[in-house]
Structure 1
């Protein structure tokens, strides 16, 4: 979702700028000290389910993250043409399944800001299974509840490790996102072809 249907700018801004400032204020430490502590945790948690778990981060920083996210919630936005693409899929009779590492509480906030939930047929969070999308077990659980032909499925994601895990499971059609954060750099990797905008898929179909 984040970096695919939604602009990753909100998440990057929250975790790299807003949270460090609020954590420094909460702990009575300098911003540099707050960044050092948070980045240590980032490096330890990245790629695990706890990396995406708001309950886990609440315990670490001793603050409820949802109110902090709401403070900058105006930055939550869809990527260009995301809603048009979802409608395009519906018009083609395709099932639109959101498979995300996002915590359910964070999902609710972003859905309330964007309304994209109305254009999805099913929403699956990795927290439902206890494994992030980077882990093979996630895909095994997914296949049990979402029977389909993996070779025929199209999976779009902004994360290279996630795309590689999906490919190893057998998802036949993979696409990455060339610029998940509208204010960030272009991506470059070999896990999957990179998509610049959804109009490429709508015009090629």
Structure 2
């Protein structure tokens, strides 16, 4: 994005996990911690537990249940929220996020977090980071019972948080969400190449992107 583009943007929609917050917390929880605890609870090997969980990961991806902690608690027989709280210390910002949000405010942009995170998990992250104090509003897809991958999510969002599609930027690490937003007509779309600090960047995207927010010239 060029500095001149920012003059055309009034609203900045931001994903949370993998965009503002380090996705390492979520990846570690779902791919390592949960399979270990699930294996212990059901008397399985960790490999067998992960294989079994992967079936649900694959079938549910992109649906609201994929993001619903209550659903996963029922499916696994484990208290997912309590398990996440045990690892709450791993929740943290990606580099330069706080400075970026401060710059957006200085330039009078409307800052709205649009996340697929379940409200219970969201509460843990806000408690750990104070992120809600740095933005104008946070909306969870669970409020609408539609994931961001669905066109219905954007319909609900536009009714509740009116924005000009031609003057709105969405930053998100999910390619499926960016595709959905593109279909809805949001003009400015940007992806995150390095959502998990413990993994290599992935630049396989049809959307322009950044590794970190200090690459953006707001002007």
TM range (shorter): over 0.9
Alignment partners' CA distance in 2, 1:63 and 1:169:
37
The superposition leaves residues 44-100 of structure 1 with CA deviations (integer Å, 9 ceiling, x where unpaired) of 100100000001101100111111112222111100011111111111111110000
> 1:89–1:189: structure 2 CA closer, same or farther, 3 Å change rule?
same
Work out whether 1:105 is the aligned partner of 2:125: no
Aligned 8 A contact 1:50 1:56 in 2: yes
Work out whether 1:63 is the aligned partner of 2:78: yes
Instruction: Give the alignment's Cα RMSD to 1 decimal.
Output: 1.0
Aligned 8 A contact 1:100 1:124 in 2: yes
Aligned 8 A contact 1:160 1:189 in 2: no
Alignment partners' CA distance in 2, 1:112 and 1:55:
19
Q: Equivalences for 1:3-82 in 2 at 5 Å?
A: 3-82=18-97
Aligned 8 A contact 1:8 1:180 in 2: yes
The superposition leaves residues 10-41 of structure 1 with CA deviations (integer Å, 9 ceiling, x where unpaired) of 00000000000011111121111111111011
Alignment partners' CA distance in 2, 1:71 and 1:28:
22
Is the deviation greater in 63-72 or in 148-157?
Answer: 63-72
Equivalence for 2:198 = 183
Q: What count of residue pairs does the alignment treat as equivalent?
A: 204
Alignment partners' CA distance in 2, 1:57 and 1:191:
32
Q: SS of the residue aligned with 1:78?
A: coil
Equivalence for 2:5 = none
Q: Which runs of 5+ in 1 are unaligned?
A: none
TM-score (structure 1 length as normaliser):
0.97
Aligned 8 A contact 1:87 1:119 in 2: yes
Q: Which runs of 5+ in 2 are unaligned?
A: 1-15
Q: SS of the residue aligned with 2:215?
A: helix
Alignment partners' CA distance in 2, 1:122 and 1:204:
21
Q: SS of the residue aligned with 2:20?
A: coil
Q: Which runs of 4+ in 1 moved over 3 A?
A: none
Q: SS of the residue aligned with 1:134?
A: coil
Is the deviation greater in 70-79 or in 183-192?
Answer: 183-192
Work out whether 1:197 is the aligned partner of 2:208: no
Q: Structure 1 residue 204: deviation in Å?
A: 4.5
Aligned 8 A contact 1:163 1:191 in 2: no
